[in-house]
Structure 1
Amino acid sequence: MKNFKVLPLTIAVASSLAAMSSFAATDADVAALEARIAELETRTETLSVNVQEQNVLPADLEVPSGIIFSGYARYGAHYSDGDNRYVQVGSTGAAVGRLGNEANGGEVQLAKLFQQDNGAKWNVVFMVDDWNNDQWGSPGGVNLKKMYAGVTNVFESQPDLYIWGGRDFHQRPQQGINDYFWMSHDGQGAGFNNLNLGGAQLDMGFVGQVDSGDGGALGNDNGKYAITSKLHGIDAGIGNLDLYANYGFASDEADTDETAWQVGAVLGLGSSNRLILRYGDGADGSAFDLMEDAQIFYGSFEGNFAVSDNFIVDYLASYKDISGDSLIATGVDEDGNATGASFSKERSEYSFIVRPQYQWNEVHSTWLEAGYAMEDYDNGDEVTGWKVTLSQNISMGGLPWSRPMLRFYTTIGDVDKDVNSFDADGQLTRINDTFDTVTFGAMFEAWW
């Protein structure tokens, strides 16, 4: 999704035409207008960044006037005629693929940029989102996701240093084809980005996790905090390297004395492939997790290759290992008393996704996505799932990531479970069943 996009280009074009209305347009005038349009388009691309991660103002940004409206959304009908509405396996997002397998929701953002006479550039940003879903146990309603201010170009020796404070998206790198935030520290606090160390840049932040109630997000922290850091822009010879290191802890308000730490790395391989590695002690996707005696490793390789100018294939393979002495499920009876029944939840997770995409022209495309995922438990439990989605698309542009897009799809898949569980008395029982998914959908997806 795109952010900080200037006001519609048509306004600028109309303004230029109005300025020329007092005289007949010559070839030179038309050429000048075309050059002006190209310049505005370039500025638009400069201002367009992915709002799924933190917005950082560059020092050489030309500040636009007016309010900047941006966001991301996907909404549509998802007709389900099977046991489950979606095919869900494991804890790495849409592990069998996101196409035709994702819930509705969206984010709407308003921003205002300012520039001082001394060159400092500010932004004030507001965002609300709606990602509530009955299968996630959400109460419904709109949440305040962002409310922050930031400034850049305030130190002569560090013109690109960006300093921020408030509530914001924070350190949430995302994978696309499985819709997985493999780290996420959204919250409220303060920090800085792009401190130039020579050969690399450093980001650091101190954030508190936002508390929530029956109606959604509240204004206070919940007592869990994280110190985050990212060293990026490192030339590793074979590609660009980013390094992450985070530490999580709690105040007395959170009623826990657990801590967590987490490290990660992203290595770019060529122009279209990357390797992701992450390890956490007490942390899965976030240092806020504060999981007692749990060690979690995640590795993933993803990318795409072009078979031809019109035929592109995206792919992803991932592995996650979850271990620790505290990963024990224990049974309780109706009165809440322990029954002595238990089983281990230590496991490995695997995911494989491939998405061939054929662009017929700059409007029409056909996508086919197939995915397989498995949870392999140390105690012998197993969960497997697969999904295939065929989607016919209408989009603004001739590339796989062109948006807005209208999408008409059908999905089939199933999940096989052979796992331990507890009955109403808290005693061990066995679930051995298959849950199928058959859906038809029509939706839109856009970022702007």
Structure 2
Amino acid sequence: MKKVSLIAAAVASALIAGSAFAESEVALDVTSGDSAMEVEVKNPTDVIADGWEVHGYMSSNVRVVDGTTVDTEFGKPDYKTAGTHGKSTNQVEFVVKKHSEYQNGVWADYVLRTEYGNGNSYAYSSSGSQKANTTAQFEVKEAFVELGGILGDDTSIWGGQRFLNRAAGILSGEFWKQSSGIGAGIQTKLDGKTAGIAYVMADPDAGSDAPGAERTTASSVDLYYYGVDAGIGSLDFDFKYGKKVVDGENEDGMGAAVTLNTSYYGLDGWTQNAIAYGSGVMQNRGVNFGGWSGGNDDAESLFLTSYGVLNISDKWQLGTEATYITALDQLWGAEGLTRYILAARPSYKLNDNVRLEATASYGHEEGDEGYWGRTGDDLESNIINLEIATAFTANSDYFGRPQVKPYISYIKADDEASAKQIGIDSGDDEFVFGVHTEIWF
């Protein structure tokens, strides 16, 4: 047979095989690498419900300092300020969720979160690619599958890359609780309360330009029990045991937190109030696990936070946050380190679509002689942040979104050394002019 005839015969065979599979409603395309094959499901389970959800987030911050963009958040991630001046010029997230329910009682969620621009401080134009081809900007941050109904009506199992059980202050914006990485877990109901166990891993070198020759994988075993009635609200309990490979040896540590979800100190509104302890690998607020986790036997900290919103009247609302973290021994390699912030943001509804805001915060940091090389008058820093803003929004509630919010933020340090620590190049104060655009959907 000629070569041409051989090719024709192969193509014909493939078409016939494809036609046969096409007539079967249970044929699936399975792709592995560069090849693809057909797989027939012998006993398919009927899908009785199937649907998609799309959610997302956008934060665009047009910040001007002396006519330029700047690569600093003026101490906001370190609980030193609480203004609107986060540095992401254009952060976009999309969360796509596919929910399926099957005739045999099983349900499945596939969740995919993509993100662009988180932490970027540059203002891009339309000159083509915004980064070199070897540098990613559009990234997959979550991709996991959760299956329910297999081990019981109230039980689900999950696996993949996930942000698990996150909580953040409303004015600092800092996530103090999370497990961010790849892993697996099981969640169920015990006496009507949510209970779970998970194992999560994260590599600090992941995504770096020059990853280390030896892996320094951090891992966390999470135990949690949420929704316990406390009479004045509900209690959430978290416990984490962490490990990290350093120079071929395992460092470990543990963290624990108790969270009270209740009213605004007995008034109309809500608060989250938490106390957390962390040691070793889990020194960072005890229950804040990710690629940043690490520490030795000397690392030990105590963390307290309380934040929420008070509904004063139909027109007035008040958001507040008080956060405190201190080294019981060492924290992030510093002896005697203590940080705290007190912040408040009153909000006035001018009408259904305009909200006036003012933000005030006071941040303090101190440590023992020589911490991070600081000596003398450099041992203590105090930062004041004052801000006024007008939010144009579709809903003028405190969390009304979408919104476009012009603002003026003034940051004042107690001396030039403290100012330099938060990115102020000259002097001890700075004005930031900006417009923050934000939407959740």
Question: Does TM, normalized by the shorter one, top 0.5?
Answer: yes
Secondary structure of 1:150's match?
strand
**1:191 pairs with 2:177:** no
Q: In the alignment, which residue of structure 1 is the partner of 2:305?
A: 300
Q: Could you tell me whether the CA contact under 8 Å between 1:85 and 1:437 is conserved in 2?
A: no
**1:231 pairs with 2:225:** yes
Q: Could you tell me whether the CA contact under 8 Å between 2:170 and 2:308 is conserved in 1?
A: no
Distance 1:223 1:315 in 2: 37
Equivalent positions of 1:61-76 (< 5 A) are 65=51, 67-76=52-61
Q: In the alignment, which residue of structure 2 is the partner of 1:436?
A: 429
Q: In the alignment, which residue of structure 2 is the partner of 1:446?
A: 439
Q: In the alignment, which residue of structure 1 is the partner of 2:147?
A: 151
Q: In the alignment, which residue of structure 1 is the partner of 2:35?
A: none
Secondary structure of 2:217's match?
strand
The offset of 1:64, in angstroms, is 5.7
The offset of 1:85, in angstroms, is 6.3
The offset of 1:90, in angstroms, is 7.5
The offset of 1:117, in angstroms, is 0.9
RMSD: 3.1
The offset of 1:324, in angstroms, is 2.5
**1:375 pairs with 2:365:** yes
The offset of 1:82, in angstroms, is 8.9
**1:290 pairs with 2:294:** yes
Select which of 81, 101, 107 maps to 1:96.
81
Q: Could you tell me whether the CA contact under 8 Å between 1:126 and 1:147 is conserved in 2?
A: yes
Change in CA separation of 1:161 and 1:99 when aligned onto 2, cut-off 3 Å: same
**1:321 pairs with 2:319:** no
Deviations 1:181-220 (A, max 9, x none): 1122211110022x22215321211011145234699xx9
Distance 1:154 1:98 in 2: 47
Q: Could you tell me whether the CA contact under 8 Å between 1:409 and 1:442 is conserved in 2?
A: yes
Distance 1:126 1:410 in 2: 36
Change in CA separation of 1:213 and 1:373 when aligned onto 2, cut-off 3 Å: same
Secondary structure of 2:166's match?
coil
Q: Could you tell me whether the CA contact under 8 Å between 2:59 and 2:438 is conserved in 1?
A: yes
Select which of 71, 95, 99 maps to 1:109.
95
Deviations 1:54-112 (A, max 9, x none): xxxxxxxx9563x422111101311112997655347645x421424453323222222
Select which of 138, 141, 161 maps to 2:137.
141
Gap runs ≥5 in structure 2? 1-47, 123-130, 264-268, 370-375, 419-424
Distance 1:258 1:107 in 2: 34
Q: Could you tell me whether the CA contact under 8 Å between 2:180 and 2:289 is conserved in 1?
A: no
Deviations 1:23-79 (A, max 9, x none): xxxxxxxxxxxxxxxxxxxxxxxxxxxxxxxxxxxxxxx9563x4221111013111
Letter in 1 for 2:340: Y
Q: In the alignment, which residue of structure 2 is the partner of 1:410?
A: 408
Q: In the alignment, which residue of structure 1 is the partner of 2:28?
A: none
Letter in 1 for 2:138: V
Distance 2:121 2:434 in 1: 18
Distance 1:378 1:247 in 2: 29
Q: In the alignment, which residue of structure 2 is the partner of 1:310?
A: 315
Distance 2:168 2:351 in 1: 28
Q: Could you tell me whether the CA contact under 8 Å between 1:148 and 1:165 is conserved in 2?
A: yes
Q: Could you tell me whether the CA contact under 8 Å between 2:83 and 2:409 is conserved in 1?
A: no
The offset of 1:140, in angstroms, is 6.1
Q: In the alignment, which residue of structure 2 is the partner of 1:350?
A: 340
Distance 2:145 2:206 in 1: 22
Secondary structure of 1:73's match?
strand
Distance 1:419 1:345 in 2: 19
Secondary structure of 1:316's match?
strand
User: Rg larger in 1 or in 2?
Assistant: 2
Q: In the alignment, which residue of structure 2 is the partner of 1:22?
A: none
Moved more, 81-90 or 293-302: 81-90
The offset of 1:306, in angstroms, is 2.2
Deviations 1:102-146 (A, max 9, x none): 5332322222221111222111122221213359xx966222201
TM-score by length of 1: 0.71
Deviations 1:277-330 (A, max 9, x none): 1110122143452211111111112222222111101111121102425865xx
Secondary structure of 1:81's match?
coil
Distance 1:205 1:436 in 2: 45
The offset of 1:255, in angstroms, is 3.6
Change in CA separation of 1:290 and 1:214 when aligned onto 2, cut-off 3 Å: closer
Q: Could you tell me whether the CA contact under 8 Å between 2:94 and 2:114 is conserved in 1?
A: yes
Change in CA separation of 1:383 and 1:418 when aligned onto 2, cut-off 3 Å: farther
Q: In the alignment, which residue of structure 2 is the partner of 1:34?
A: none
Moved more, 83-92 or 306-315: 83-92
Equivalent positions of 1:2-17 (< 5 A) are none
Change in CA separation of 1:68 and 1:256 when aligned onto 2, cut-off 3 Å: same
**1:393 pairs with 2:395:** no
Distance 1:230 1:366 in 2: 39
Distance 1:325 1:300 in 2: 20
Distance 2:172 2:255 in 1: 22
Change in CA separation of 1:215 and 1:149 when aligned onto 2, cut-off 3 Å: farther
Ranked by relative contact order (alpha carbons within 8 Å, sequence separation 6 or more), the top structure is 1
Distance 1:307 1:274 in 2: 18
Gap runs ≥5 in structure 1? 1-61, 329-343, 421-431
Change in CA separation of 1:274 and 1:171 when aligned onto 2, cut-off 3 Å: closer
The offset of 1:435, in angstroms, is 3.6
Letter in 1 for 2:120: N
Letter in 1 for 2:139: N
Equivalent positions of 1:143-292 (< 5 A) are 143-156=139-152, 159-193=153-187, 195-198=188-191, 200-210=193-203, 211-214=205-208, 223-251=217-245, 255-270=248-263, 271-282=269-280, 283-285=283-285, 286-287=288-289, 289-292=293-296
The offset of 1:358, in angstroms, is 0.6
Distance 2:362 2:316 in 1: 22
Distance 1:390 1:126 in 2: 37
